[in-house]
Amino acid sequence: MTEKKQDQKALESKYLEHQALSQQLKQLENQLQTVDGQILEIKTIDEGIDNIKKTKTGEETLIPISSGIFMKCNILDTKKFLINVGNGVVVEKSADETRDLLNKQLDELEKIKKQMSDQFQQIILQLTEIEKQMNELISEQG
C-alpha cells in the first residue's frame, strides 16, 4: 500500500473515531442536563419544605399538581412528610429527616455530576488531539 493510501486510511480512521467521540459527548451533555434538572428539583423541594414548615396548621396554601397547575389545600400537618421509598411503600418522616434524605440525594447527584464533567473534559481533550492529528495528516497529503 502506498504512503498516500495509508495516510488516507489513517485519516478515515481518525474521522470515525472523532464521530464516535462526538456522539458520546452529545450523550454525556444530555445526561448532564438531566442531572442538573434533578439537582434543581431537589433544591426546589427543599425550599418547599422550608416554606411548609413556616405555614400554620389549617392554613390554606397552593400545592403544585403539575407544571403550572396548582390546587388550593388546607395544611393538616406541617411537621410530617410522606416519602415514597419504592414499590408503593410510603413512610412518614419529619421535615428534618426529609431534608437529610434530600441532602444525601443531592450529594450523590453532585458526585455523579463531577464524574460526568471530568469525563466530558476528557473527551474534549481527546477530540482536540484527534483534530490535531487529522490536520497533520491532511497537510501531509497536501
User: What is the rounded distance in angstroms from the CA atom of residue 53 to the CA atom of residue 75?
Assistant: 10
pLDDT in tens, 60-118: 888 888 888 999 989 888 889 999 989 999 999 999 999 999 999 999 999 999 999 99
pLDDT band at 124 (very low <50, low <70, confident <90, very high): very high
- Chain centroid to Cα 119, Å, comes to 13
Q: Residue 40 has what pLDDT? A: 95
Q: Residue 64 has what pLDDT? A: 82
Nearest Cα neighbor of 52 from 40, 61, 39 is 61
Q: Residue 1 has what pLDDT? A: 59
Task: Give the chain's length.
Answer: 142
Nearest Cα neighbor of 138 from 49, 19, 14 is 14
pLDDT in tens, 33-61: 999 999 999 999 999 888 888 888 888 88
The answer to whether 90 and 82 have CB atoms below 8 angstroms apart is yes
